[in-house]
Amino acid sequence: MVNDRPAGGTGTSQDDPVAPDLSRPSIARVYDYVLGGKQHFEIDRRAAQGFIDALPDAPVIAKDNRNLLRRGVRFLVEEAGIRQILDIGSGLPTEGNVHELAHAIDPSTRVVYVDNDPGVLAHGRALLAGDATTAVITADLRTPAAILADPVVTGLLDLSRPYALLLSGIVQHLADDEDPYGIVGTLREALPAGAYMLLSHFLDDDEPRATTLERGFLQGGLGTGRFRRWDEIRRFFDGLEMVEPGLVYANDWRPDAGTPAESPVHTLYAGGVGRKV
Ligand SMILES: C[S@@+](CC[C@H](N)C(=O)[O-])C[C@H]1O[C@@H](n2cnc3c(N)ncnc32)[C@H](O)[C@@H]1O
């Protein structure tokens, strides 16, 4: 595993992991909680309750998202032939981590995990010890150029050659005034021809539950979680050629035997994969 920043870093934080910040809930830990993991604290569970009260089925969105990610990574490595992955907003290690999914198909696939929660680095270090193909760094999506210039990223991935950019369940945590389109645009424009972008996002499909749940996320303690409309999510893929079936409800994206036949939150989450031509 590569996780040490050479001197003269890029402005992203790569310090040794610190004790978890328990003064506020962490998106990564709340997500871990709703997925049934063990890396969460009371403050995270209380924040989760804020949106579970609004919609008891809300945790299923996380499971549907994880399922889409699994199918997406399999497509990218097995069908599209991708062997390098930049996973921004990777989350805490859980069942079916991206590098494990990729390595099950080709163990030489290189993966860099990026998350702004230092807990991800701490847990990643333990998980990835001895794995030379996979690294984890602490960095923020809101500084995309710094991520692309990060020495750990450029040391493991050749960004001039096709890679997969994963933005799974993260862009919804950018508020409208944080320039989400500019940020994703910077990453998308940096993709070389033949590269892919997987993006999944909370969906406002014009149903009241999206509004209720967004309120639960924004006001229920977590303080973040935007539900965007189809056209708003589609804009993130501008200029990319959509891989079939395009931007769709998450469980409709190339479903397989492991995809839930029915989901109570089917219409609240969307995702797709685009290819740079
Ligand atoms: C909902 S989880 C998604 C995890 C994983 N990508 C998945 O799809 O299962 C969102 C992750 O994005 C991270 N995150 C949120 N905002 C971020 C930012 N501005 N920069 C980097 N990571 C961020 C959180 O810490 C969290 O781990």
- Identify whether the C-beta of residue 167 lies closer than 8 Å to the C-beta of residue 88: yes
pLDDT, tens digit (0-9, with 9 covering 90-100), for 72-116: 999 999 999 999 999 999 999 998 999 999 999 999 999 999 999
If one residue of 115, 197, 268 were mutated to test the ligand 1 pocket, choosing by the most ligand atoms within 8 A of its CB, it would be 115
Confidence at 185, pLDDT banded by 50, 70, 90: very high
Q: How far is CA 272 from CA 169, 240, 250, 258, in A?
A: 12, 11, 8, 18
Mean pLDDT along residues 52-57: 95
pLDDT in tens, 225-270: 999 999 999 999 999 999 999 999 999 999 999 999 999 999 999 9
| Nearest one of 128, 90, 87 to 3, comparing CA atoms | 128
Fold of 60-212+232-275: Rossmann fold (3.40.50)
Report the residue among 30, 61, 170 best suited for mutation to probe ligand 1: largest number of ligand atoms under 8 A from its CB.
170
pLDDT at 11: 30
Q: Is any atom of ligand 1 closer than 6 Å to the C-beta of 76?
A: no
pLDDT for 2 beyond 70: no
For residue 103, give Cα distances in angstroms to 133, 167, 197, 270: 9, 19, 19, 26
* pLDDT averaged over every residue in the chain: 92
What's the pLDDT score for residue 8?
26
Question: From CA 192, how far away is CA 227, in angstroms rounded?
Answer: 29
Name the residue with tokens 């056209």. Answer: 231
Q: How much is the pLDDT for 18? A: 63
Extents of the domains making up the chain: 60-212+232-275
Q: For residues 184 and 199, what is the distance between their CA atoms, to the nearest angstrom?
A: 10
Q: pLDDT-derived band of residue 3, with 50, 70 and 90 as boundaries?
A: very low
User: In this model, does residue 14 exceed pLDDT 70?
Assistant: no
Atom of ligand 1 nearest to the CA of 140: 20
64 lines ligand 1 (CB under 6 A): no
The amino acid at 38: K
